[in-house]
Amino acid sequence: MKLTRMRSVLVAASMLVAGLQVCWAQTLGIGDNAPPLKVAKWVKGKPVEKFEAGKVYVVEFWATWCGPCRTTIPHLTEMAKKYAGKVSFTGVSVWEDMEGKDHFKTVEKFVAEMGAKMDYNVAVDGTDMTMAKTWMEAAGENGIPAAFIVKDGKIAWIGHPMDGMDKAIDSILDGKFDSSAAKKAREKEKEAEAAAAKEQAEVMAKLKKVMDAAEAGDMKKAVEEIDKVFVAEPALEKRFAMVKVTLLMQSDETAVAPYMKKLAAGIFKEDAMMLNQMAWMLVDEEAPMKSADPKVAIQIAEQAVKLTQEKDAMILDTLALAYFKDKQVKKAIETQEKAVKLLKDSDVDEETKKEIMDRLERFKKADG
C-alpha cells in the first residue's frame, strides 16, 4: 500500500511519543563464531543448515515494510549471480508486523511479487525473534538492511549490504582480507554510533514533557510542550516537525494544514520527500482527515513535483489524488498518466504499482 511511504516517519513519531528508545549491548563482533541460522521458515531457495568450513556466506536482514531494503534486494540478486558457486546469499526477514497478522504470508507474498528480482535464499524469523536477537541485537545493529559475511563459521564483516560489501567479499575470496583492519573499522563505527546515541538521549530528555503529556493522552498539552522545545532549540524542529503534525492530527486537525504550509515555506522548502509526505497525509483515503483541504495538498505536492522535475511517480500520484479530491478530474488524469508512465523503469513494488494504475482507472471513470 502507498501508506507504507509514511511508515518510517509515523513509526519514529510513535516511538518518540511513547518514550521508547532502543539500545542494545554489543556481544557479537568480527572474529566471533556466527550464531546458527535458526529461522522459523524458509520461503525461497535452498535452506542453509549450517556454516561449512572453507565456505563464504552472506546473511542479510530485511523487512517487507523497509524501503531501503527493497532498494537493496536487486543489488543482492546481482551479487548472488556474480558469486554463484562461491558465496551463499540468504535474506532473513525480521521485525515484521506480527500484530494480528500472519507475517509468514506477508513475506511469502512479497517474495512472490519480487520474483526474479529477489533471486537468492530467503527465510523468515519467528514470533520469538530468535534471529533478530542472536544476530542483530547481539551485534548492536538496530537498523535494516544489515548484512553479515561469514567465513569458516566466523563473522568476517558487518555492515550495510551496499556499502563496501562487494569489496569485502572480493578480498575474502582472494585471501587478502584484513580481519584486524575490519575489526578496527567496526569498532570506530560503533564508537560513532554510541556518540550519536548519547546525543539522542540528550534530545529525548528535552522532549520528556512532550512524551509525558502524550502518554497521558493530553495531546493539546503535548503540542504546547513541543512548541516550547522548538522555541528553545529551533534546530530540533526539522527533526521532529512530523511528530508535531502527528500530535496535531490527534488534538486539532484544523491546525494541521496551516502548520504544513509553514513547513513547506520554511524548513522543508527544498525537501521533496517531506513535502510529499505532508501532501499525502492531507489526501490519504485510508486515514482521512475531516478538515483536510485538498487545495493545500495541491500547493505542497506541486512544490514537490517541481523539485523533482516531474520524475517521481509517487509524488505525481500524490498530486493527482489531490487534484481529484479538489474535483479537478482532468488534471488528475493527466498527472496520474505521467505517474503510470514512470512506473515502468522504477523500483516501486508491484502492489503499489497496481494501486497507482487502479487509481488512474478510477479517475477516468469519474470523468465519464
Mind listing the pLDDT tens digit for each residue in 146-173? 999 999 999 999 999 999 999 999 999 9
State the DSSP code for 33.
B
Which CATH number fits the domain that encloses residue 131?
Answer: 3.40.30.10
Same domain? 170 vs 227 = no
Mean pLDDT to the nearest integer, 206-227: 94
Same domain? 170 vs 221 = no
User: Domain range holding 76?
Assistant: 31-175
Residue where a domain stops, chosen among 140, 175, 210: 175
Please identify which residue in the block is written with the cell numbers 562461491: 86
Total-model pTM: 0.60
Same domain? 119 vs 84 = yes
- Inform me whether the pLDDT recorded for 100 exceeds 90: no
Looking at residue 142, its pLDDT comes to 87
What's the pLDDT tens digit per position in 36-71? 999 999 999 999 999 999 999 999 999 999 999 999
302-334: burial string, b at 16+ Cβ within 10 Å, e else: bbbbebbeeebbbbbbbbbbbbbbbebbebbbe
What's the pLDDT tens digit per position in 291-323? 889 999 999 999 999 999 999 999 999 999 999
Other Cβ atoms less than 10 A from the Cβ of 84: the count is 11
The residue ranges of DSSP E strands in the chain, in sequence order, are: 41-44, 56-62, 87-93, 121-124, 146-151, 154-159
Average pLDDT, the chain: 91
Looking at residue 20, its pLDDT comes to 39
Same domain? 211 vs 167 = no
Same domain? 167 vs 223 = no
Give the list of residues 6+ apart from residue 264 with CB closer than 8 angstroms, or none. 275, 278, 299, 300, 303
**Number of independent structural domains in the chain:** 2
DSSP for 38-75, please give it.
Answer: --SEEEES----S--TT-EEEEEEE-TT-HHHHHHHHH
Window from 198-207, 248-257, 318-327 with minimum mean pLDDT: 198-207
Looking at residue 9, its pLDDT comes to 43
Other Cβ atoms less than 10 A from the Cβ of 191: the count is 10
- Inform me whether the pLDDT recorded for 103 exceeds 70: yes
Same domain? 220 vs 131 = no
Percent of the chain clearing pLDDT 90 (strictly above): 78
Q: Please, what is the angle between helix 67-82 and helix 165-173, to 10°? A: 20
Rounded-to-integer distance, Cα 135 and Cα 133, Å: 6
Rounded-to-integer distance, Cα 356 and Cα 1, Å: 10
Q: What are phi and psi of 130, to 5 degrees?
A: -55, -45
Mean pLDDT to the nearest integer, 88-98: 94
- Inform me whether the pLDDT recorded for 264 exceeds 50: yes
Q: What is the 3-state secondary structure (H, E, C) of 71-83?
A: HHHHHHHHHHHHC
Dig out the grid coordinates for 15 from the structure.
516511538
Question: Residue 196 falls within a domain, yes or no?
Answer: no
Report residue 4's pLDDT band, with 50, 70 and 90 as the boundaries: very low
